[in-house]
């Protein structure tokens, strides 16, 4: 079994993954932003920073929805690792990656088009 399949298998069946992370307690997360608009603005800036335009010079139009979904699954695993390890910077990074992949999946699946009644 390859590394990714082994990693996912261990996560699905409640076994501790072989990936390296520290079980020691870390400082708790910083306080949440109380204003949802401010939180959205901060997260949107993080999404722009995390999106790697160099790796997608022609955009993502040639991506297959299933391939994007597989990438999302892997990113969810990394996000879960960051949450369990109490690593806020890694949580922010992987959450932004996941949001970018969700937007790409929505686009390549043909669901990003606005309906006429929503566009107005």
Q: What's the chain look like in SS3?
A: CCHHHHHHHHHHCCCCCCCCCCCCCCCCCCCCCCCHHHHHHHHHHHHHHHCCHHHCCCCCCCCCHHHHHHHHHHHHHHHHHHHHCCCHHHHHHHHHHHHHHHHHHHHHCCCCCCCHHHHC
Please state the domain count of the chain.
1
Model confidence pTM above 0.85: no
Q: Are 77 and 7 in contact (CB under 8 A)?
A: yes
Range of the domain at 90: 33-112
Is 2 inside any structural domain?
no
Is 61 inside any structural domain?
yes
Higher pLDDT, 91 or 118: 91
Is 8 inside any structural domain?
no
Is 22 inside any structural domain?
no
Is 13 inside any structural domain?
no
pLDDT tens-digit readout, 81-110: 999 988 988 999 999 999 989 988 998 998
**pLDDT of res. 42:** 87
Q: Are 71 and 100 in contact (CB under 8 A)?
A: no
Is 6 inside any structural domain?
no
**pLDDT of res. 54:** 60
Q: Are 105 and 72 in contact (CB under 8 A)?
A: yes
Is 17 inside any structural domain?
no
Is 94 inside any structural domain?
yes
pLDDT tens-digit readout, 22-72: 554 555 556 667 788 888 888 888 888 877 666 666 678 888 999 999 999
**pLDDT of res. 1:** 42
């Amino acid at each position: 079994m390859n590394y990714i399949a082994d990693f996912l298998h261990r996560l699905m069946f409640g076994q501790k993954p072989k990936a390296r992370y520290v079980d020691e307690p870390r400082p708790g997360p910083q306080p949440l932003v109380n204003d949802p608009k401010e939180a959205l603005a901060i997260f949107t800036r993080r999404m722009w920073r995390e999106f790697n335009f160099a790796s997608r010079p022609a955009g993502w139009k040639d991506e297959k929805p299933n391939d994007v979904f597989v990438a999302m699954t892997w990113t969810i695993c990394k996000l879960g690792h960051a949450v369990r390890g109490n690593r806020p910077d890694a949580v922010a990074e992987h959450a932004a990656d996941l949001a970018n992949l969700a937007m790409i999946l929505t686009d390549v699946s043909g669901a990003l088009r606005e309906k006429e009644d929503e566009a107005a």
